[in-house]
């Protein structure tokens, strides 16, 4: 325990915490995306899946709490690292040239904030239904479809999914570097993996709001 605390206190430790929480969140999103695309097959299947999940009762809440904790850790670490970075360069350059860092890398912070905002809205939208035009308990699939029928909502989803794609892409590449898993041998694999996962998850998610926008999802 003490060791983890010591670790957390160092800049590298915080990065490791971000990486660890990040990976688990990636895991969640993969399963989440996988289950959601069921709507293309048959909304009822998604309902069933959701119902099956509800079956776990308390366990589900444990999982939710876990997710929340992960996002919490991830955000706190991100915030503190950002503060540290700001403090480390009180005066910026009059002219700064960025040579190699990708746009994705440089937007990790705001991209993250956007995700956070999205998640809150998203839960009020699909889980509690608070912000849903016409929310019916249990009809997860139908809720999803009706929810995305609203053009600006679908558009917003689409945009966020792109932001998440960027976050993913740098994030997954970055994880290996942060955890020191970068043998020259599989550095290429590592880059491909980052792109692959990004396309899969972001693409999968993106498909839904887009389908809705173009009236393919009804």
**Beta carbon nearer to ligand HEM, 94 or 108:** 108
User: Considering the rule CB under 6 A, would residue 38 count as an interface residue with ligand HEM?
Assistant: no
User: Considering the rule CB under 8 A, would residue 93 count as an interface residue with another protein?
Assistant: yes
Please state, in angstroms and rounded to a whole number, the distance separating the CA atoms of residues 146 and 218: 8
Q: With CB under 6 A, what is the number of residues at the site for ligand HEM?
A: 44
User: Considering the rule CB under 6 A, would residue 191 count as an interface residue with ligand HEM?
Assistant: no
Cβ-based neighbours of 25, under 8 Å, separated by 6 or more:
67, 70, 71, 74
**Beta carbon nearer to ligand HEM, 90 or 106:** 106
Question: Interface residues for another protein in 53-92 (CB under 8 A)?
Answer: 80-81, 83-85, 87-92
User: Considering the rule CB under 6 A, would residue 116 count as an interface residue with ligand HEM?
Assistant: yes
Please state, in angstroms and rounded to a whole number, the distance separating the CA atoms of residues 177 and 12: 11
User: Considering the rule CB under 6 A, would residue 18 count as an interface residue with ligand HEM?
Assistant: yes
User: Considering the rule CB under 8 A, would residue 189 count as an interface residue with another protein?
Assistant: no
Positions touching another protein (CB under 8 A) are 3, 6-7, 9-16, 80-81, 83-85, 87-101, 105-106, 108, 170, 173-174, 176-182, 184
Positions touching ligand HEM (CB under 6 A) are 15, 18-19, 22-23, 25-26, 29, 32, 36, 50, 53, 64, 67, 71, 74-75, 78, 81, 108-109, 112-113, 115-116, 119, 122-123, 126-127, 140, 144, 157, 161, 164, 167, 171-172, 174-175, 178, 205, 208-209
């Amino acid at each position: 325990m003490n060791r983890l605390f010591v670790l957390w206190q160092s800049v590298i430790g915080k990065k490791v915490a971000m990486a660890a929480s990040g990976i688990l969140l990636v895991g969640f999103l993969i399963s989440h995306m996988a289950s959601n695309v069921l709507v293309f097959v048959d909304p009822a299947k998604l309902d069933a899946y959701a119902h099956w999940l509800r079956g776990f009762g308390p366990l589900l809440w444990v999982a939710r709490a876990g997710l929340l904790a992960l996002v919490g850790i991830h955000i706190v670490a991100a915030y503190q690292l950002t503060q540290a970075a700001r403090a480390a360069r009180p005066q910026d350059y009059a002219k700064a040239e960025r040579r190699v860092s990708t746009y994705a890398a440089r937007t990790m912070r705001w991209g993250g904030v956007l995700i956070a905002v999205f998640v809150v809205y998203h839960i009020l939208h699909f889980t509690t239904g608070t912000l849903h035009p016409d929310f019916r308990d249990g009809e997860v699939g139908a809720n999803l479809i009706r929810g995305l029928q609203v053009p600006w909502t679908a558009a917003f989803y689409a945009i966020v999914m792109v932001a998440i794609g960027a976050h993913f892409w740098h994030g997954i590449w970055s994880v290996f570097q942060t955890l020191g898993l970068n043998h020259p041998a599989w550095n290429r694999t590592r880059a491909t993996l980052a792109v692959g996962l990004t396309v899969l998850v972001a693409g999968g998610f993106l498909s839904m709001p887009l389908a809705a926008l173009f009236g393919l999802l009804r």
